[in-house]
Structure 1
Amino acid sequence: MYIVINIFGIALLYLSIFFTGADLKPAFRLSRPSINMLVQMLLREKQHSWNSKIEVPVTIYCLACGASYRVTADIFSMPVATVCRIVHSVIEEMMTILHRVIHFPKAEEMEEVGAGFARLAGNEAFRCTAGAIDGCHIRILPPGEPHKRSYINRKLFPSIVLQGICDSRSTFLDVYIGNSGSVHDARVLRRSSMYKQALYPPAGFFLLGDGGYPSLQHPVAIMTPYHQPVSTQVEESFNRHHAKARIIIERTFGILKTRWRSIFLRALDIQPLFAPKVVGACCILHNICVATNDVHQEEGQEAQPGLEAETEGTEFSFYGQASQIVTGIALPFQWLPSPSLPP
């Protein structure tokens, strides 16, 4: 399993699988370029660590297979305590590079971001879209009292919430993780630094959210669909194109959960305080995979229905002020039914 390489008189230990040309995806659910990118990023953060090429695969294997520390220790011929230390250490190190991997676009990139959403929506009116936002529940084992009840979500299982914003390529632009499952999407939004500090989107752009979010202008601009039932064909057309663009965040969550299904499709058997870091590590790996075009063949789409909004801030009704805003966006780009609109 291991080989020793002598470099400048220093004996270094490496996993032999990385020198055989073997396909790494069955065991690690990542391609070789994706793993190498993470190794290099962590090496830059920790220059004295020669063993990242062992520690990173051990951690990724734990995430990919949902294996216990004991099983992973047997696979890699390591003591259980060593595996536990490695996994916690690597995930903590990954948190130091989170904002290098998951970050908002630069000002000069916003035109490209908007163009991507216009293509998804099938209408140029969405060229001012800066991202799609939604919440996703991550199942965990229930913590002990007195906090157990606060983690029970509306589907009656314990969870923490991942709030994500993505672009049209399914790249995460921002993640906010760790609110207990009983907290509504709108309240999670209000607690995020993105909302409190009005970090994103820039002026003139908006995020697309589902009905679980309020329609806001300040401190962040969020555009939601018209409430059902709609009263006009213009509103129906808007909702249709809005849904075609916004669905990318649901697909992004689906890709994340499918690749790391051993983590996300069963309860995380870890402390609630460490769970957000594990989820954050998976989001980092997701973005690395997008950057290296590392597509998992089983990746699919998973919808996360929105929660009823609990609103605060500058809110408006789509039957008043918002109608003017939406109509102002819509009419110049033929939102009214016409042959130029996709079905």
Structure 2
Amino acid sequence: MEARGLVALALSEYRQLVNMQVIHLRNREEDDRRRRRVLISSLLCSRQRASTGAECEMMLNADDGAFAQHFRVTRTQFEFLLNKLQASGLKEQHKRGLAPVPVTKKVLMFLWYMSTSSSFRAISEKFGVSQSSAHRITLEVLNLISSIRPTFISWPGKSKKSASAAAFSRLCGLGDVIGAIDGCHIRVQKPPIRGGDYKNCHSFYSVLLQAVVDDRGRFIDVFAGTPGGVQDARMLESSTFYTSWKKKMGDYSLLGDEAYAGHGFPFIIAPKRDNGAPGEEEQLHNSQIGRGRAVVERALGRMKCRWRRLQDLQHTRVDAMVMTITAGCVLHNMCLGDSESCQEHPQGCPRQEDGNQ
């Protein structure tokens, strides 16, 4: 009986060892399957990234028409911007052992970012880089664009002022006018700090762009980042332009809309307030202002149509918003004169998206 007990105990321990071995083998097989799934997923992602990175090369090698359609600039303008950014310090950089991103691709990514509403995830897939790299490179180029802003946006000298005054006189019949001023809402997400200040009278969140343009619709002064709840006149008073308007304007004037009327800006010609029964002379005066102001309306509409990122900024950092808006103004001036009409809106790009009618 004692021998039988020992045999039974031995068999029991053997069965336990067998069961443990079976469990171990099953766990090992499951681990192997999990590793294979991770490996396959990684390979698929790398193949997708390689194929979408090749898409960037295809766009770069496309004909001139397709290139301009994709990136909203001509090849000549692209080369000009590329050279400017390289001269300002844009270069290939090694990051944690990864292959460097060519400068050409960086500029193409930036242009794609500005001309579309694509997410950084979509941009990373299209250009074959990581999502964090797409974000980092975009901010890098935005910073450099801000640093070269004076190259593209500058106040006119004496001869250009005279030429603009003559052009506005022909356009609207008003003398000594060298530009038009207006404010523009750029839709944003509610910022985490003092977000209520950014809710405008149209009931959406925005930051403001104050733009002064010449007779060609070229930005000669811009001021961006004011919360959308601020009125245009208050924004002007807080802008960098206002601190030096006497030196800049001299005896010349700007054309503005009703938002500037009654605020005592001696350098702005604004329509007289509607008292219900405007006389013939007042109607003529307001009509002349309207014809002259059309240049700033067209400029802002064209910029937001061409650089569609400005139609809805999803940044939560206000500094990134300001840099993106500034970049849109820089790109607008760089492209000015290449094509004065929009293919989608030959009669003029609408401005209903900014809620500033």
Task: Tell me whether the two structures share a fold, i.e. TM-score over 0.5.
Answer: yes
Task: Compute the TM-score of the two structures, normalised by the length of structure 2.
Answer: 0.74
Structure 2 CA distance for aligned equivalents of residues 136 and 86 of structure 1: 27
Matched, 1:26 2:69: yes
Matched, 1:113 2:164: yes
Matched, 1:136 2:184: yes
Matched, 1:84 2:153: no
Measure how far apart 1:71 and its partner are: 0.7
Name which of 20, 32, 42 aligns with 2:85: 42
CA 1:114–1:234 in structure 2 vs 1: closer, same or farther (change >3 Å)?
same
CA 1:305–1:244 in structure 2 vs 1: closer, same or farther (change >3 Å)?
farther
CA 1:199–1:290 in structure 2 vs 1: closer, same or farther (change >3 Å)?
farther
Q: Of Structure 1 and Structure 2, which has the larger fraction of its residues in helix?
A: 2
Measure how far apart 1:53 and its partner are: 1.7
Gaps of 5+ in 1: 3-13, 308-343
Match for 2:312: what amino acid?
A: R
Name which of 324, 346, 349 aligns with 1:278: 324
Contact 1:209/1:222 (<8 A) preserved: yes
Structure 1 CA distance for aligned equivalents of residues 303 and 246 of structure 2: 24
Q: What are the Cα deviations for residues 195-250 of structure 1, in whole angstroms up to 9, with x where unaligned?
A: 012266432200111110146776x6111112214543222111111110012111
Measure how far apart 1:178 and its partner are: 0.2
Q: What are the Cα deviations for residues 90-114 of structure 1, in whole angstroms up to 9, with x where unaligned?
A: 0000000111101111112111111
Measure how far apart 1:48 and its partner are: 5.5
Matched, 1:63 2:144: no
Bigger mean CA offset, 69-78 vs 109-118: 109-118
CA RMSD of aligned residues (A): 2.6
Name which of 218, 230, 242 aligns with 2:289: 242
Structure 2 CA distance for aligned equivalents of residues 230 and 96 of structure 1: 50
Q: Percent of aligned positions with the same letter in both sequences? A: 26
Match for 1:174: what amino acid?
A: D
Structure 2 CA distance for aligned equivalents of residues 128 and 305 of structure 1: 30
Specify the alignment match of 1:221 in structure 2.
267
Structure 2 CA distance for aligned equivalents of residues 136 and 200 of structure 1: 25
Contact 1:212/1:306 (<8 A) preserved: no
Specify the alignment match of 1:256 in structure 2.
303
Number of aligned positions between the proteins? 290
* 1:12-23 paired onto structure 2 within 5 Å: 15=57, 17-22=59-64, 23=66
Measure how far apart 1:17 and its partner are: 3.8
Match for 2:189: what amino acid?
A: L
Gaps of 5+ in 2: 1-48, 51-55, 94-101
Measure how far apart 1:86 and its partner are: 0.6
Match for 1:268: what amino acid?
A: Q
Structure 1 CA distance for aligned equivalents of residues 312 and 144 of structure 2: 25
CA 1:294–1:226 in structure 2 vs 1: closer, same or farther (change >3 Å)?
closer
Structure 1 CA distance for aligned equivalents of residues 324 and 58 of structure 2: 27
Q: Which has the higher contact order (CA 8 A, sep 6+)?
A: 1
Q: Of Structure 1 and Structure 2, which has the larger fraction of its residues in strand?
A: 1
3-state SS, counterpart of residue 216 of structure 2: coil
Match for 1:24: what amino acid?
A: F
Specify the alignment match of 1:11 in structure 2.
none
3-state SS, counterpart of residue 46 of structure 1: coil
3-state SS, counterpart of residue 249 of structure 2: coil
3-state SS, counterpart of residue 135 of structure 1: strand
3-state SS, counterpart of residue 274 of structure 1: helix
Specify the alignment match of 1:101 in structure 2.
152
3-state SS, counterpart of residue 179 of structure 1: strand
* 1:93-242 paired onto structure 2 within 5 Å: 93-121=144-172, 123=173, 126-144=174-192, 146-198=193-245, 201-214=248-261, 221-228=267-274, 229=276, 231-242=278-289
3-state SS, counterpart of residue 131 of structure 1: strand
Contact 1:194/1:200 (<8 A) preserved: no
Task: Compute the TM-score of the two structures, normalised by the length of structure 1.
Answer: 0.77
Contact 2:257/2:270 (<8 A) preserved: yes
CA 1:38–1:292 in structure 2 vs 1: closer, same or farther (change >3 Å)?
farther
Structure 1 CA distance for aligned equivalents of residues 267 and 238 of structure 2: 16
Match for 2:296: what amino acid?
A: I
Measure how far apart 1:16 and its partner are: 5.5
CA 1:47–1:270 in structure 2 vs 1: closer, same or farther (change >3 Å)?
closer
Structure 1 CA distance for aligned equivalents of residues 190 and 209 of structure 2: 17
3-state SS, counterpart of residue 130 of structure 1: strand
Pick the structure with greater CA Rg.
Answer: 2
